[in-house]
């Protein structure tokens, strides 16, 4: 058993009561208020082994949370992968055919050639309609939570308004496909769109603390969107809001390290947010070729070789600044 499997202490939630949804699309729930407001969406299980977000959505449904203003969509995304979940081999349930969070481009959505592409197409109307999106994820390795904003300044403002987590990653996505949070209006420049989207990495997949982070982020997001007020959150979701981060750091991603094959290895067991003091420091080897940091005080963002194969990002370089 691998170290991460032995550390997997967060059980998979029982979603039987919530699997059908109420929209005609499996796993998708939608509620509308009488008072106008934003249409917001919270998604979980984009990867079948990332169960913290599923716990948070289940909690919202069990609490019978309804929007006070606007419309609220809750989506359990890759249920077919989740069905295969095994804490002793959790990577195997990340997806069925291919990563669901790389299929969000028109050509892939229209192709329908894999189960993940067909599922993305079924979810697309809800993603397209959403004004604000919170996409809940977790990480391959034990690490502090991260918010990923994309490159649009409006998303950084939302991350700052939520006041947690401490580290905010400003990045352009992945070379091997478009993420949900970058799809359509969410990926458009500020001059063309006010749609906002955050992807939150809540911690290690198997850490029970990741569920607490996911719940906290849901409460903060619904408050920031105007979907629920403070009184409703306190009454319906007691204990969900955690203390604000003591500060927030922006991590401006300057580029990825992309694996050439499965033969990528790191020089140390990095877990993320390490600050490498000197430019030119060897952090690993890509098919035997040294990989070095490009500048002083380089931050390593989400290093992992667990999904290493040609074209997959294994770490990102970033510069850190205090917000």
The DSSP annotation for 74-109 comes to EEE--HHHHTT--GGGGGGGS-SSS-GGGB-SHHHH
Output the six-digit token pair for 171. 């990045």
Tally DSSP H helices, then E strands, for the chain.
Answer: 8, 14
d(CA 305, CA 69): 43
- What pLDDT does residue 285 have? 97
- What pLDDT does residue 141 have? 87
Cβ contacts of 191 within 8 Å, gap of 6 or more = none
- What pLDDT does residue 1 have? 34
- What pLDDT does residue 6 have? 56
Q: Which domains does the chain have, with CATH numbers?
A: 3-236 (3.40.630.10), 253-322 (2.40.50)
Output the six-digit token pair for 66. 């309804």
- What pLDDT does residue 230 have? 97
The residue ranges of DSSP E strands in the chain, in sequence order, are 28-32, 39-44, 71-76, 132-139, 146-148, 167-170, 196-204, 249-258, 264-266, 275-276, 282-286, 289-292, 298-301, 313-322
d(CA 219, CA 311): 36
- Indicate left, alpha or beta for 35 from its phi (over 0: left) and psi (-120 to 50: alpha): beta
Q: Which residues of the chain have pLDDT under 70?
A: 1-6
Model confidence, pTM: 0.95
């Amino acid at each position: 058993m691998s170290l991460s499997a032995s550390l997997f202490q967060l059980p998979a939630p029982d979603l039987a009561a919530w699997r059908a949804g109420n929209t005609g699309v499996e796993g998708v729930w939608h509620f509308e208020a009488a008072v106008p407001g934003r249409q917001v969406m919270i998604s979980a299980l984009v990867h079948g082994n990332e169960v913290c977000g599923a716990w948070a959505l289940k909690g919202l449904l069990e609490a019978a949370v309804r929007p006070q203003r606007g419309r609220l969509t809750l989506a359990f995304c890759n249920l077919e992968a989740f069905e295969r979940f095994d804490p002793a081999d959790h990577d195997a349930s990340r997806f069925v055919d291919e990563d669901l969070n790389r299929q969000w481009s028109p050509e892939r959505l229209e192709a329908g050639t894999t189960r993940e592409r067909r599922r993305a197409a079924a979810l697309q109307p809800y993603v397209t309609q959403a004004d604000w999106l919170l996409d809940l994820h977790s990480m391959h390795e034990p690490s502090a939570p991260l918010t990923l904003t994309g490159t649009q300044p409006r998303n950084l403002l939302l991350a700052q308004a939520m006041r947690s987590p401490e580290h905010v990653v400003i990045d352009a996505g992945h070379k091997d496909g478009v993420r949900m949070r970058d799809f359509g209006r969410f990926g458009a420049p500020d001059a063309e769109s006010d749609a906002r989207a955050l992807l939150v990495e809540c911690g290690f997949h198997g850490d029970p603390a990741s569920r607490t982070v996911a719940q906290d982020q849901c409460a903060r997001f619904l408050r920031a969107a105007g979907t629920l007020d403070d009184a409703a959150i306190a009454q319906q979701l007691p204990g969900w809001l955690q203390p604000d981060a003591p500060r927030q750091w922006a991590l401006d991603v300057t580029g990825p390290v992309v694996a050439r094959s499965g033969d990528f290895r790191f020089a140390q067991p990095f877990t993320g947010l390490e600050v490498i003091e000197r430019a030119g420091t060897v952090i690993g080897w890509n098919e035997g070729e040294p990989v070095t940091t490009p500048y002083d005080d380089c931050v390593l963002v989400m290093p992992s070789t667990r999904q290493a194969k040609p074209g997959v990002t294994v770490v990102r370089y970033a510069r850190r600044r205090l917000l």
